[in-house]
């Protein structure tokens, strides 16, 4: 969410949530947002490698949140380093 772009009347900047999540949780922990709104906390969780559970009763905002979180996830996946497939000359055996 840009500074000038607000999806929800209670919206907050992603930068704020990045800082709060970074200061008060550890990588891999789960963050619960029972009033998800447009998904800012979920976006921040994706960016900081946290798990996220969001609850939103308004379908309009739920849909916006799902799209924003999916976009953040897709962007993060596109930035991951490319992993080489295992060499075909090496074999793994399980007994």
| Residue 48 placed within a domain | yes
| Number of domains present in the structure of the chain | 1
Residue 63 domain-assigned? yes
pTM: 0.74
Residue 8 lies inside a defined structural domain of this protein: no
- Greatest mean pLDDT among 5-14, 55-64, 85-94: 55-64
6 in a domain, yes or no?
no
Check which CATH number belongs to the domain holding 51 and give it: 3.40.50.150
CA distance 79 to 92: 29
DSSP for 49-87 reads T-EEEE----HHHHHHHHHHHHHHHHHHHHHSPPPPPPP
Q: Quick one: average pLDDT of 6-26?
A: 87
Confidence of residue 1 (pLDDT cuts 50, 70, 90): very low
| Residues spanned by the domain of 48 | 14-78
- For residue 86, being part of any structural domain is answered with no
Q: Which pLDDT band holds residue 11 (cuts at 50, 70, 90)?
A: confident
pLDDT tens for 37-75 read 999 999 999 999 999 999 999 999 999 999 999 999 999
The confidence score (pLDDT) of residue 85 equals 53
């Amino acid at each position: 969410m840009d500074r000038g772009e607000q999806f929800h009347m209670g919206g907050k900047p992603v930068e704020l949530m990045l800082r709060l999540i970074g200061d008060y949780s550890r990588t891999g922990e789960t963050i619960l947002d029972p009033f998800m709104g447009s998904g800012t906390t979920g976006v921040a969780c994706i960016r900081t490698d946290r798990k996220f559970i969001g609850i939103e009763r308004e379908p309009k905002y739920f849909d916006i949140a799902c799209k924003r979180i999916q976009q953040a996830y897709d962007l993060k996946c596109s930035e991951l380093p490319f992993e080489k497939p295992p060499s075909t000359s090496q074999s793994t055996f399980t007994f």
